[in-house]
């Protein structure tokens, strides 16, 4: 199981140069994947395009975890993704999601009904565009008739990036298994990964081996109870979001603090070993807490590799 790290909004507001430095340090330490969240702060694809050229060729994977697609027409997202892919030397993994329905509806005034049907149609348009194929689509939710004009001899890498989908419910996992390369989860505990996420997307994949990137907040600490209490306060609203609440209920826990990875080195090692047995292929770990706690957690994660 590969152990990557998450950066961006999920760890709290940070200046873009600071995020770039964090990713550079992770790459230098041998971390195999850096995932940049996309919330209400920096645009993840633009930020990765800025960071990528500073990194050594090859090496660390750069992923979005995840870009909400509801407010981006698939033609626009395909252009953004391929531009970023060229800028980062072909190391992009495009993670997308329907977005938290309350935010999509209240911030953008966009519909949030039938997310799995919208996702299916979106992927049917997006994936050919990422492969450089023309589309002529007039569907229930999207109209797209165009092809992207990217120079084949530009010297930049514009191969189609792998596409992962933030999928939690059965219908979304079915679409992700059929039309994407895998899924990215967040605050979804080991029992739910083992009994729900991994088997559901594997069944839908038709014999392929889907990638399952399991995202968790993590904190190396000797004051575990205090850290969990603080995390419970900071992420209380997340526990009320229907999408996350459903997964917490499946796990049989009260709130986000119950799926936080926290403890000393021995405890964290045991918690990570349990996750390795879930069938997830990757971890996307976001150090949280004070700046000092995040630094200690980052240093520990760099030592265990992936």
Taking only the tens place, the pLDDT of each residue in 90-114 is 999 999 999 777 777 778 788 888 9
Q: In terms of pLDDT, which residue wins out, 152 or 289? A: 289
What domains can be seen in the chain, in order of their start residue?
2-304 (3.20.20.30)
- pLDDT at position 157, please? 53
Average pLDDT, the chain: 92
Question: Is residue 152 pLDDT above 80, yes or no?
Answer: no
Residue 106: what pLDDT? 77
The pLDDT value given to residue 306: 56
User: How far, in Å, CA of 26 to CA of 1, rounded?
Assistant: 17
Share of the chain above pLDDT 70, in %: 97
Compute the distance between CA of residue 155 and CA of residue 306 in angstroms, rounded to an integer: 31
Question: CB neighbours (10 Å) of residue 30?
Answer: 12
Quick: pLDDT tens for 169-207.
999 999 999 999 999 999 999 999 999 999 999 999 998
The 10s digit of each residue's pLDDT in 226-249 is 999 999 999 998 899 889 999 999
% residues pLDDT > 90 (the chain):
79
Its pTM stands at: 0.94
* CA torsion, ordered 62, 57, 159, 166, to nearest 10 deg: -10
* Lowest model confidence (mean pLDDT) among 1-15, 175-189, 243-257, 274-288: 1-15
């Amino acid at each position: 199981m590969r152990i990557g790290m998450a950066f961006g909004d999920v760890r709290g507001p940070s200046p873009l140069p600071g995020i770039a430095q964090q990713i550079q340090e992770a790459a230098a330490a041998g971390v195999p994947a850096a995932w940049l969240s996309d919330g209400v702060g920096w645009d993840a694809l633009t930020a990765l395009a800025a960071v990528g050229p500073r990194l050594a060729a090859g090496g660390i994977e750069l992923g979005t975890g995840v870009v909400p697609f509801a407010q981006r027409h698939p033609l626009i997202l395909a252009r953004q993704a391929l531009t970023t892919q060229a800028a980062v030397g072909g190391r992009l993994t495009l993670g997308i999601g329907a977005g938290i329905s309350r935010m999509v509806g209240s911030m953008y005034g966009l519909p949030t009904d039938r997310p799995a049907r919208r996702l299916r149609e979106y992927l049917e348009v997006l994936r050919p565009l990422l492969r450089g194929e023309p589309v002529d689509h007039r569907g229930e939710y999207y109209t797209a008739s165009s092809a992207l004009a990217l120079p084949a001899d530009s010297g930049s890498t514009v191969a189609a990036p792998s596409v992962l989908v933030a999928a939690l419910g059965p219908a979304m996992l079915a679409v992700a298994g059929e039309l994407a390369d895998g899924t990215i989860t967040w605050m979804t505990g080991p029992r739910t990964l083992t009994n729900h996420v991994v088997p559901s997307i594997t069944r839908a994949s038709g014999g392929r081996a889907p990638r399952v990137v399991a995202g968790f907040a993590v904190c190396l600490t000797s004051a575990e109870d205090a850290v969990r209490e603080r995390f419970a306060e900071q992420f209380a609203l997340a526990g009320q979001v229907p999408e996350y609440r459903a997964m917490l209920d499946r796990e049989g826990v009260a709130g986000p603090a119950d799926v936080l990875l926290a403890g000393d080195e021995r405890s964290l090692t045991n918690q990570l070993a349990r996750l390795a047995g879930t069938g997830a292929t990757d971890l996307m770990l976001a150090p949280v807490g004070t700046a000092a706690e995040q630094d200690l957690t980052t240093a520990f994660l760099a030592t265990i590799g992936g």
